[in-house]
A = this chain, B = another copy of it.
Amino acid sequence: MTIQDSVRPEIRQMKGYVSGEQPAFGKFIKLNTNENPFEPSNKVIDAIHDTAAGKLNVYPDAMANSFRIAAAEVLGVDQDWILCGNGSDDLLTIITRTFVSPGSKIRIPYPSYVLYRTLADIQGAAIEEIPFDKNWKLPESFGADDDNLSLVFLPNPNSPSGTVISPEGVLKLANSISCPLVVDEAYADFASANCLHLVKEASNIIVTRTLSKSYGLAGLRFGFAVANPETIAEMQKVKDSYNCDALAIAGATAAISDQHWLQGNIRIVKSLRGVMESELSKLGFDVQPSEANFVWCKHPDFDSKELYDKLKENHILVRYMDYPNWGDGIRISIGTSNQISALITILESIITV
């Protein structure tokens, strides 16, 4: 009898999700995990300082109500439409455990966020990947109903492409299936449209958001889901009772209350995205126009893995993605203008050799 014999077969067979490299040593320009290149609003730091100096010996508010109240005002929904989580990964886990019975099926587009497969594996569910077409649109079959279908994940904007499905398309999709549709809007603040308002039009839509990207708070672990209160109440049963800590709640509340900071940050990131797209194009890259805080590109004359390796040798980390039966490419997070200059300079030296 070994430990391996006690582990669930689904877990034993899994490799486990591997997130982007976080180098512990050495100085790198990190353009690989879609972090915001700018530090968060000072109001966030102040709120965390105040809370840390307070009563950390006491349990946090289990529902993070200060955040829900502030977010309800910003988002134009009542607070019982909001559930907070320890990053949006926590919410994706909660959603999976609420709706996905072992043996049922989760549908996802391909290629997209690799974590969805891990969530299905852990839950003992099957995964059905429906490929995007070459214009990053989804075929009709993505909306086909199926008795064994328990959940559909739609990252929108999608990663690695940075492309979006329109709200009209999302609503049509939601109406064509009878299970919940999770619109994972991790990057929606950088897009020209989002689906938040659709939660009132289709009761099976759950929108998830994170503060890791647009609010510059990847270190804080805070996300939230928006859905009708009946859905939120079921998800609440599944979450760990105190899933958000007091510091994260205080920081997140300050962050969402500072929409001035957010709008300024989004404007700058989008402008830098334009610069990066244009510079990469000048170097001959095929660049997918992005609605997120990263761009997906490939050079017709250079191997993507080699470009990744050479950038890493030069202390610039980007994300090399190789999708079986699909192809590979490089996903580059939007950095500061200095970081973009450094990237372009190195790429230029590689490409023009």
Contact = CB atoms under 8 A, between A and B. Distances in A.
Interface of A: 1-9, 11-12, 14-17, 19-20, 22, 24, 30, 33, 35-40, 44-45, 48-49, 51-53, 55-62, 65, 86-87, 89-90, 93, 97-102, 115, 122, 124, 150, 178-180, 203-204, 212, 216-221, 228, 230-231, 234, 236-238, 240-248, 251
Contacts of A228: 3
A60 B219 contact: yes
Contact of A36 (B57, B89, B90): B57
Contacts of A4: 230, 234
Contact of A56 (B56, B65, B216): B216
B48 A8 contact: no
A219 B241 contact: no
A245 B245 contact: yes
Which one of A9, A36, A234, A245 has the highest number of Cβ atoms from chain B below 10 Å of its Cβ?
A245
Contacts of A89: 240-242
A244 to B, nearest CB: 8
Contacts of A236: 16
Number of this chain's copies in the complex: 2
Contact of A52 (B3, B30, B48): B48
Contact of A7 (B55, B98, B203): B98
A3 to B, nearest CB: 5
Contacts of A221: 60, 86, 242-245
A220 B238 contact: no
11 contacts: A2-B203, A24-B65, A56-B217, A56-B218, A57-B216, A86-B221, A89-B241, A101-B124, A102-B102, A220-B246, A245-B247
A218 B60 CA distance: 7
Contact of A218 (B30, B59, B203, B244): B59
Contact of A39 (B24, B48, B55, B231): B55
B242 A245 contact: no
Contact of A87 (B56, B240, B248): B240
A230 B179 CA distance: 37
A39 B14 contact: no
Contact of A247 (B48, B65, B97): B48
